[in-house]
Amino acid sequence: MTCVVMRLPSKFSPKMRKVISTSTGGTVVSGLIQVSPSANEGTLRRRLEALGATIQSWSTRRSMMTIRIPSSKLLELGDVDEVVYVEGGDRYSFS
C-alpha cells in the first residue's frame, strides 16, 4: 500500500486543513480569510470568483472577509497571493 502525504500551505488553519483532507468534491465550505492590506479589491474579487467563491462580507478596515467556496478549490485558494490566512468550518460575522 502506498501512502501519499499532502503538504498544505501554512496559510490554512488546522481546522481548514482537516476540511481539505476529508471533504468530498461537491462540498461547499465557509471560510474566514485574512487578506493582505495592500490587496486590490477588484483583482481579488475576480480571482475568488474564478475559483467559484462567493464573497459574503468584507471588512476592509480589518482586512478580513467571509466566503463560501467549493472544497475542491481550497488548495487553489491557498495559491492566491492576497490571501494571508484561511480559517474555516464555522459561521462568521463582523460586528
Identify the CATH number of the domain in which residue 26 sits.
3.30.70.80
Cβ 13 vs Cβ 86: under 8 Å: yes
> How many CB atoms are located within 10 Å of the residue 50 CB?
11
- The alpha carbon dihedral of 16, 22, 77, 26 has a sign of negative
pLDDT at 91 over 70: no
* Per-residue pLDDT reduced to its tens digit, 15-71: 888 888 887 767 888 999 999 999 998 999 999 999 999 999 998 888 999 999 998
Q: Could you tell me if residue 5 is inside a domain?
A: no
CA distances (Å), origin 81, targets 56, 84, 85: 20, 7, 10
CA distances (Å), origin 46, targets 42, 51, 62, 82: 6, 9, 20, 12
Q: Provide the percentage of residues in the chain whose pLDDT is more than 70.
A: 82
Length of the chain: 95
**Domains identified in the chain, total number:** 1
Q: What are phi and psi of 72, to 5 degrees?
A: -65, -15
Q: Could you tell me if residue 30 is inside a domain?
A: yes
Q: Could you tell me if residue 3 is inside a domain?
A: no
